[in-house]
Amino acid sequence: MAEAPVLFQELPAGARKLGRVTLNVAATLNSLNLEMVDLLQAQLDLWRDDDSIAAVFIDGAGEKAFCAGGDVQALYRSAVATPGGPCDYAEDFFAREYRMNYSLHTYAKPIVCWGHGIVMGGGLGVMAGCSHRVVTEKTRIAMPEVTIALFPDVGGTWFLNHMPGRAGQFLALTGASINATDSIYTGIADRFIDSERKSEVLEALLQQHWEGVASRNHALVRHVLRSFAGECSAKMPDGQVEPHLAAISQLCDGDDIHEIIDNIVSLQTDDPWLARASESLAQGSPLAALWTSRQLREQRLSSLRECFQAEILLVTNIVRHPEFAEGVRALLIDKDRNPAWQYGGSRDVPADVLDAFFFAPWDDNPLVDL
């Protein structure tokens, strides 16, 4: 019998237990599907109400990735099965994924995420929602949804808007890759610890004198992680976002979103990180760049709950639209990397076409009860 896609353990930790979650599909870089989302939600609910569970530790199987995102090919199959209409699997997946993400963000007990290796899309949604987020020398984070005509969801509307300066807007538009140092600077991670220390961290957590009060247990987790992070600080890689923040601010200083896109796409530079970011936006969907920018702008003052409710509205409209299916086809199905985007540039997108993505496609928002 095949091993479960998510493994759960209850590890003895003094008078209490540490709940351990391992995303366990290394062959697909632990990409999330609906079954995994439901398993995570159910176990989080159980442990939330179990007084014997003091804290939770989440990691990914294998050495390559914590989680590379959602199972986009399954979402593609759902989208093309009913073009223009409701996509049952895709819409159920996103609604339940966002609900699970919200549960992580609002969980009272400490949740430690070991964000080692690739952390993209849905994987970042999991990591960003945890209360104690550890990154390593091999962490590689990105939200490259513009390349498949999606947008940085799974709470991206919230955490990208809380990044320094215009960093969130730049990362959302370009899908630029960042490392452990960048993730701490931008606020989506908390501690850098060398990946070789993982077993020691786990053992140290198991040795704590856990209590029945969540706030005190959070303090115990911080005490453990702070010690390891202090010992590993010299190994932190050079960041990209903070050194480029002035350039990012200049590139994102346009009279409108079209000018900002022009600034980034037309950039002539010998800087490899900025050059890759420019190329990624140039190859991405102009329509996706517009709905991504508008989503961030319209939700910049929203609560976390409101951000997830806005995300489910937008993503539902997106998966019903052919631009998304074409983006996935070109990048992941046929892999010709030659998407036939519906519009040649952002200025070619009619205002009413963009507006339609922000009207509710149903009477009741699936996340109205968050």
pLDDT tens per residue, range 255-303: 999 999 999 999 999 999 999 999 999 999 999 999 999 999 999 999 9
pTM: 0.97
What is the CB-side half-sphere exposure of residue 322 using CA atoms within 13 A?
Answer: 7
Question: Can you give the pLDDT at residue 136?
Answer: 98
* Tens-place pLDDT, residues 131-165: 999 999 999 999 999 999 999 999 999 999 999 99
DSSP 348: G
Q: Which of 145, 182, 190, 326 is catalytic?
A: 145
Minimum mean pLDDT range among 1-15, 89-103, 168-182 = 1-15
Question: Can you give the pLDDT at residue 94?
Answer: 98
* Tens-place pLDDT, residues 306-359: 999 999 999 999 999 999 999 999 999 999 999 999 999 999 999 999 999 999
Three-state secondary structure call for residue 31: coil
Place of tokens 């952002």: 346
The structure tokens listed for 365 are 């928002």
Identify whether the C-beta of residue 119 lies closer than 8 Å to the C-beta of residue 127.
yes
Place of tokens 């990180």: 273
pLDDT at 45 over 60: yes
In a domain, 363, yes or no: no
E-strand spans in the chain?
6-13, 16-23, 53-60, 65-67, 111-115, 118-120, 132-135, 140-142, 191-192
In a domain, 162, yes or no: yes
In a domain, 369, yes or no: no
129 part of the active site: no
In a domain, 315, yes or no: yes
* Mean pLDDT, the chain, integer: 97
Identify whether the C-beta of residue 276 lies closer than 8 Å to the C-beta of residue 176.
yes
Q: Which of 71, 91, 153, 311 is catalytic?
A: 153
What is the CB-side half-sphere exposure of residue 65 using CA atoms within 13 A?
Answer: 24
Average pLDDT, integer, range 167-174: 98
In a domain, 12, yes or no: yes
145 part of the active site: yes
In a domain, 106, yes or no: yes
153 part of the active site: yes
Question: Can you give the pLDDT at residue 83?
Answer: 83
* Tens-place pLDDT, residues 232-256: 999 999 999 999 999 999 999 999 9
pLDDT at 1 over 60: no
* Tens-place pLDDT, residues 50-102: 999 999 999 999 999 999 999 999 999 999 998 888 999 999 999 999 999 99
**Enclosing domain of residue 58:** 6-356
> Number of structural domains, the chain?
1
CA distance 135 to 195: 8
CA distance 172 to 281: 10
CATH number where 264 lies: 3.90.226.10
Strand pairing class (65-67; 111-115): unpaired
Q: Which of 69, 115, 117, 122 is catalytic?
A: 122
**Nearest in space to 217 (alpha carbons), one of 12, 17, 6:** 17
Average pLDDT, integer, range 158-177: 98
